[in-house]
Chain A
Amino acid sequence: MSFAKGMSIPVQRSAVRRESLPIWAEMLHDPNPIHLDAGLVRAMGLGDAEINQGPANLAFVINALTDAFPDGRIEALDIRFTGNVFAGETVNTAGVVTVIGRDGEGEHVTLDVSLAVGDRVVLKGTAVMCRSAA
């Protein structure tokens, strides 16, 4: 598959399942109760459900990238977290090619990427994918 500047990679729509949050918390050794206790989240005025871990949100964007570039690998990510995703919500990925470069290693494709819940953008940044020269 060839890519061109301005081209979008396929959107991926995923549900954040409540039962996944403890698995991520254990993997990350993250004791922050906002990921596990909806009552605490409500008491803190942050929302009405457990808050998904930031890396778990980023993983959805990574999935979209690796699926769009089955012959490539992630070279770099530069991501800013701008909002929370709550258990039970559905997220949508986005990615648009901004730069394509080539060198002896292969093709380097830079994309603007983001993750959103409806119109609420919860992370955004850039990704660079490398496709090795044949």
Chain B
Amino acid sequence: MADQALPDVVGLSLDGSTPYVITTEANRALCATMDRQPAPDGAAHPIFYHIAAQVGMRLTIDSLCAACDFDMADGPMLGSTSVEFARPLMTNRPYDVRGRVVDIARKRSGKFGVMDLVTYNLELWHDGEAAVSVTHTLVLPRGAKA
């Protein structure tokens, strides 16, 4: 795979078809894993930016990997995440997820050998405004050691 052409995924739409809702129960359950209480004003834990974007996008993470000719069993890794919040995420509001793959690049590292870096943007929209803008880079190790 390492000597094959890069998968043709740039521009691939990740627009979700169903709005993502952070339920009160989900927020409470997630906070409980960290021994924290949910915010009393209905704000969701900010890490829901990641959960909502990942779950609400059109492709599951394994489908996105498959689109990149990569098997989930080969261990994709989240390399980086960048997020801007226009406003806090709230529970019990529908967020539409819009996004696309914006880049794929092949690199070589001493640790992982050949790897593809897939960059994609996602936005969470509510009531005609983007509440959150996210850029993720997924690392797909291709296996051929340097």
Q: Which residues does A use to contact B, with CB under 8 Å?
A: 14, 17, 20, 23-24, 27-34, 44, 46, 54-56, 58-60, 62-63, 66, 73-81, 125
Q: How far is the CA of A94 from the CA of B114 in the complex (A)?
A: 32
Q: Which residue of A lies closest to B86 (CB)?
A: A75
Residue contact A62 to B45, C-beta cutoff 8 Å: yes
Chain B residues numbered 39-58 whose CB sits less than 8 Å from any CB in chain A: 45-47, 50-51, 54-55
Q: How many residues of B contact A (CB 8 A)?
A: 30
Q: How far is the CA of A56 from the CA of B72 in the complex (A)?
A: 19
Shortest distance between the CB of A12 and any CB in chain B (Å):
10
7 nearest interchain CB pairs? A20-B33, A54-B78, A59-B47, A55-B50, A78-B82, A80-B80, A76-B84
Q: Which residue of B lies closest to A29 (CB)?
A: B55
Residue contact A62 to B80, C-beta cutoff 8 Å: no
If over half of B's interface residues share one DSSP class (helix, strand or loop), that class is named, otherwise mixed; here it is mixed
Known: A14-B34, A20-B33, A29-B60. A58 touches B81 (CB 8 A): yes
Chain A residues with CB under 8 A of B75: 32, 34, 44, 46
Q: Give the one of B29, B36, B45, B80 with max A CB within 10 A.
A: B80
Chain B residues with CB under 8 A of A20: 33-34
Q: How far is the CA of A110 from the CA of B56 in the complex (A)?
A: 29
Pull 24 A–B residue pairs with CB atoms less than 8 Å apart, ordered by A.
A17-B33, A20-B33, A20-B34, A23-B33, A24-B33, A27-B30, A28-B54, A30-B54, A33-B73, A34-B75, A55-B81, A59-B34, A59-B45, A62-B46, A74-B85, A75-B85, A76-B85, A77-B82, A77-B83, A79-B81, A80-B79, A81-B77, A81-B79, A125-B80
Chain B residues with CB under 8 A of A63: 34, 36
Q: Give the one of A29, A77, A80, A125 with max B CB within 10 A.
A: A77
Q: How far is the CA of A27 from the CA of B80 in the complex (A)?
A: 19
Chain A residues with CB under 8 A of B29: 23, 27
Q: Which residue of A lies closest to B36 (CB)?
A: A63
Residue contact A32 to B72, C-beta cutoff 8 Å: yes
Judge whether B88 is part of the interface by a CB distance below 8 angstroms.
yes
Q: How far is the CA of A54 from the CA of B78 in the complex (A)?
A: 7
Residue contact A55 to B51, C-beta cutoff 8 Å: yes
Residue contact B79 to A60, C-beta cutoff 8 Å: no
Chain B residues with CB under 8 A of A77: 81-83
Residue contact B88 to A73, C-beta cutoff 8 Å: yes
Residue contact B76 to A58, C-beta cutoff 8 Å: no
Shortest distance between the CB of A92 and any CB in chain B (Å):
14
Chain A residues with CB under 8 A of B84: 75-76
Residue contact A81 to B80, C-beta cutoff 8 Å: yes
